[in-house]
Amino acid sequence: MLTGFKNFLLRGNLVDLAVAVIIGTAFTAVVTAFTSMLMSAISKVTGGKEPNFDKFAPGDVLIGPFLTALVAFVILAAVVYFFVVTPYVKAKERYFPSAPPGTPEEIKLLQEIRDLLAAQKPQA
């Protein structure tokens, strides 16, 4: 029973997941601060009003909170894409380049086997 628990704790995926949660939690604070800074800059451009649509209700349908959340989401997604995803992809390609295009080794090996089998068949 303890062996199974030990194996569970020492499994690589569990450690990777724990690290991801910790880094994600720390990164959330950075992105939230950046989003607040960006919203503050937008408020300076718009005359001191931070973009807040909470009271917007055309036709008595309150869609303002949704619009505010949507604007915050778009800003958050842009921050993550341009400051995390794009540099990560560039670094990954630089340090771990993808395999050059061509026939994979497994396919070459299978083709050789096919050719050898075809050469062994008696000609009719």
Dihedral sign computed on CA atoms, order 17, 23, 29, 34 = negative
* pTM exceeding 0.85: no
Instruction: Give mean pLDDT in consecutive 10-residue pieces for the chain, a chain of 124 residues.
Output: 77 76 86 80 74 78 85 82 89 84 85 92 68
Dihedrals phi, psi of 79, to nearest 5 degrees? -60, -50
Give the pLDDT confidence score for residue 87 in this predicted structure. Answer: 92
3-state secondary structure 40-80: HHHHHHCCCCCCCCCCCCHHHCCCHHHHHHHHHHHHHHHHH
